[in-house]
Chains A and B, each alone.
Chain A
Amino acid sequence: QKEVEQNSGPLSVPEGAIASLNCTYSDRGSQSFFWYRQYSGKSPELIMFIYSNGDKEDGRFTAQLNKASQYVSLLIRDSQPSDSATYLCAGTSGTYKYIFGTGTRLKVLA
């Protein structure tokens, strides 16, 4: 069974700090990875996607991919209370399937 694993949390960080969210995956064939933010009762919203090893930055968000270690991470700089949500990590499996982790709940404390 191909899996994407995340720590369920909650991960608590003070306002203004860096939040670091991590994800590991089992399918070595996975090529593309995605981070979604999901507020309680709402649908997932795409935050970042990354296809190549290394870092990708977009505003306060940085996605990191290490295919050798099968590891994906999301850094959120200057965390705000509005960033409090569940963050879902997903990876492709084959051509059309996507495998989602169970999510990490982030709490940013004002």
Chain B
Amino acid sequence: DGGITQSPKYLFRKEGQNVTLSCEQNLNHDAMYWYRQDPGQGLRLIYYSQIVNDFQKGDIAEGYSVSREKKESFPLTVTSAQKNPTAFYLCASSWVTQPQHFGDGTRLSIL
């Protein structure tokens, strides 16, 4: 079945630690996205990538980093510089201007 797989489902970060969230898609989509959702809020764009080896900052990129070494994969690292990382993180993919498909999300909390 085609889709987007995010892992892990739950993640806990210690003070000063970097953590990496995984996102893999087998939909052959060119574009991939990372969003952050806080309780009762909409989706805010962290980073997006149009093609392999290229990505752009979204509205809230500070404290995050990404890579796009393969078309299928777009991991997100939450660095220690992100002081308020507790949120629901959603990965999405799409073709140009077509509907986005979302993974099941990763819920990140601080220990």
A-B complex is real? yes
Cβ < 8 Å to B, chain A residues 26-74: 31-32, 34, 42-46, 49
Q: Which residues of B contact A43 (CB under 8 A)?
A: 90, 102-105
Checking B41, B42, B50, B90 against A96 with a beta-carbon cut-off of 8 angstroms, the contacting residue is B50
Is there contact, CB below 8 Å, between B100 and A34? yes
A35 to chain B, nearest CB (A): 10
**Complex: A16 Cα to B45 Cα, angstroms:** 36
Closest to A35 in B: B99
- How many residues on the B side are at the interface (Cβ–Cβ under 8 A)? 22
Q: Which residues of A contact B48 (CB under 8 A)?
A: 96-97
B98 to chain A, nearest CB (A): 8
Counting chain B CB atoms within 10 Å of each CB, the highest count among A43, A45, A97, A100 belongs to A43
Closest to A95 in B: B96
Q: Which residues of B contact A103 (CB under 8 A)?
A: 42
B17 within 8 Å of A (CB atoms) = no
**Complex: A39 Cα to B33 Cα, angstroms:** 21
Closest to A99 in B: B45
**Complex: A98 Cα to B46 Cα, angstroms:** 12
Is there contact, CB below 8 Å, between A92 and B104? no
Cβ < 8 Å to A, chain B residues 18-59: 31, 33, 35, 41-43, 45, 48, 50, 56, 58
B97 within 8 Å of A (CB atoms) = yes
Closest to B31 in A: A96
Closest to B42 in A: A102
B101 within 8 Å of A (CB atoms) = yes
B90 to chain A, nearest CB (A): 6
Q: Which residues of B contact A32 (CB under 8 A)?
A: 97-98
**Complex: A98 Cα to B45 Cα, angstroms:** 8
B63 to chain A, nearest CB (A): 20
Checking A46, A92, A102 against B101 with a beta-carbon cut-off of 8 angstroms, the contacting residue is A46
